[in-house]
Amino acid sequence: MKQTTKILFFITVIGFTSCSPKISSNFTNPQPKLSIDDKVALMDIKHDLPENVIKIGELRFQDSGFSTDCSFNSLMTRARNEARKNGANIVKVIDKKKPDLWSSCYRLKIELYKYSGDVSSLPQYKLKLD
């Protein structure tokens, strides 16, 4: 009976960890963490970056095969949280693959930047409420 409990626990852990998209990150210039009150601009491919930004790093969201909760809004929210942790106030999508026959998830390449101006004045993506 004890062996069965261990196996069920292992399968449950694998199930929970394999349901989220795979995130790869590379932070080359992390800055001090931002507070929850600091604004972070979410910029899609069509939006242009302002001048005088400092690149903080990159994120890549990929499908792990059994991913759930990987809509564009969900991934942008996660990217915003990663940006705050690393001192970035601009999340810029540089490549976007929509769900298709091979994947039910968005796959995104994102760059994170620090901007000294007012990010609320920048054209940006607005998260949609589900």
Q: Is the pTM of this model over 0.85?
A: no
pLDDT of residue 130: 56
Rounded Cα distance, 105 and 73, in Å: 11
Listed by start position, the domains of the chain span 20-121
Q: What whole-number distance in Å separates Cα of residue 28 and Cα of residue 118?
A: 23
Burial of 92 (0-12, 13-18, 19+ CB in 10 A): buried
Question: Mean pLDDT, consecutive 10-residue segments, the chain of 130 residues?
Answer: 62 51 89 95 96 96 77 94 97 95 91 96 85
pLDDT of amino acid 102: 82
Sheet holding 90-97, edge to edge: 22-27, 53-62, 107-115, 90-97, 41-43
